[in-house]
A = this chain, B = another copy of it.
């Protein structure tokens, strides 16, 4: 990994790295925060997956998670949301193509050659980070909006790799949302059975999740109709799923919402990852 930038932050270090990703076949950029504790021991890693239009940078500079990660001795990783660059397919819409990878492995033209974000997040990047950085191999995952979708679906399918999962305003039922149907059909084709492997509600219903879940959702979120929080809230209640679904009055979909509850999420993951 090549160091793009390095800034001291809350006693630890905020890195931006670039590396050749074999999964996506392009150079990928990511942010990694190492807390002060990483100078002395290997630490757990909390993954933060970002939403539509974001790069590795948005949460890294706006969510304020480093303060809490430093307190609890967790590393953070902020991956990009899609492959980018010359030769990578794109679309004029903000919600398809670059910045909108939806954390799947695309099988359809023109996306299939580079859009392999599922493999990138689940396979390639964990191995690379563990090989290169002082990490103890214990991982939690969270994310916002499309990234909340990524966090939930990836955790549910990989409970051995991700010990804890939470989300901020996640897209929880993409097979029933315009944030989902359009992208899943473009990336995966028209067989909706294949989409189910990328729908948090369908996966939780099918696979379950033995540990607990933390989800925050703003009640004034401008995208409630696309996020479908009621589907997840009902399912968690029906399944007697351990966890907390918090409807936060007055909060919208912005990073001000994520920042407001970031301390809770980092503390929640820290408790679970240290016990792991």
A residues engaging B (CB < 8 A)? 7-11, 14, 61-62, 64, 66-67, 218, 220, 250-252, 254-257, 259-260, 263
- Closest B residue to A70 by beta carbon equals B260
CB of A257 within 8 A of CB of B8, answer yes
Pairwise interchain contact A9-B64, C-beta atoms closer than 8 A: no
Closest residue of chain B to A9 (Cβ to Cβ) is: B256
Q: Which of A8, A67, A252, A255 has the most CB of B within 10 A?
A: A8
Contact A256 B218 (CB under 8 A): no
List the number of copies, as a whole number: 2
Question: Complex Cα distance A9/B257, Å?
Answer: 6
Q: Known A-B contacts: A7-B254, A10-B259. Give 10 more (CB < 8 A).
A: A7-B256, A8-B220, A8-B251, A8-B252, A8-B256, A8-B260, A9-B259, A10-B256, A61-B61, A61-B62
A51 to nearest B CB, angstroms?
A: 15
- Measured between beta carbons, the chain B residues less than 8 angstroms from A252 are 7-8
Q: How far is the CA of A218 from the CA of B8 in the complex (A)?
A: 9
The CB with the most chain B CB atoms within 10 A, among A7, A11, A259, is that of A7
Residues of chain B lying within 8 A (CB to CB) of residue A67: 64, 259-260, 263
Minimum CB–CB distance from A249 to chain B (whole Å) comes to 8
Residues of B within 8 A of A11 (CB): 260
The complex places the Cα of A256 from the Cα of B62 at a distance, in Å, of 10
Nearest CB on B from A70, distance (A): 9
B residues in contact with A220, CB < 8 Å = 8
